[in-house]
Structure 1
């Protein structure tokens, strides 16, 4: 099953990447994930591995994934090493002179060798997974835009303090 969601965020690619590229922040914005923990010493970049589980119905499903692409402020892609067969990708593209960021999230998953039963399970899971992808991007946008607004307010406060001192 291949699913895709996209959103445009009112923040530059670097601000979006600060959250997308941080393995410690994944559970803050990923909808439906119950586990995202590093496996091994490498935390970021190609070759980093994570144990990832997603809630589907009453079960947590997933497995071990490995990052296979890592281009800061642009691309992050992974593939499964064990567990549910999956591939995913975040694609970030600057818009309006990098004042905004278009984010695309793709996820392909399947149950290898499960035949008709596996296909039915994939179909049954699709509405939930699609909902999770949309929720993930909605929450990512909310958090990044909130942080941008907070940083801009702090900059304005600092300028006002500097004017008062002068």
Structure 2
């Protein structure tokens, strides 16, 4: 299952980049994230690893992810190492009128889940779409000076 959402933020791309790629900020703005911890010697950049849990329904799910693409200040992508099969990406682009278009992409799957896996993916998608929309709204508020999070 793949989810993609975007928002326009009134902040320069390098400022947005520094904020979204700093693991210390993730629990602050990522709605539904219950854990985002550095797992290794690198805290940012290509090869950085994080233990991540997202609250979906009544469960915390996730695993270990690794940054597999790092192109400042525009693209960062990760892929799962263990746990739920997932891939994510932050994509930042300058807007003609100033500010930044922030796009968040997330793809996940339940390996070998058959029919029950398909059902689980679709049920989780409802929560994830809502959580990722709130994540982008939280990001916008944080970067534009409003600390009231959704």
Structure 2 length as normaliser, TM-score?
0.94
Distance 1:18 1:40 in 2: 20
Distance 1:96 1:57 in 2: 39
The structure carrying a bigger helix percent of its residues is: 1
1:92 maps onto 2:92 in alignment: yes
Partner of 2:72: 72
Partner of 2:124: 125
Q: Which has the larger radius of gyration?
A: 1
Cα displacement (A) at 1:15: 1.2
Distance 2:32 2:72 in 1: 25
Partner of 1:6: 6
- CA deviation vs aligned residue, 1:57-114 (integer Å, no higher than 9, x gap): 11100000000011122011000001000001000001126x3100100000011111
Aligned residue pairs, count = 146
Q: Could you list the runs of 4 or more consecutive aligned residues of structure 1 that deviate by over 2 angstroms after TM superposition?
A: none
Partner of 2:29: 29
Structure 1 length as normaliser, TM-score?
0.85
- CA deviation vs aligned residue, 1:115-150 (integer Å, no higher than 9, x gap): 111110000111100001111100001000118xxx
- The secondary structure found in structure 1 opposite 2:45 is coil
Structure 2: segments with no counterpart, 5+ residues: none
How large is the RMSD of aligned CA atoms in angstroms? Answer: 1.1
Partner of 1:42: 42
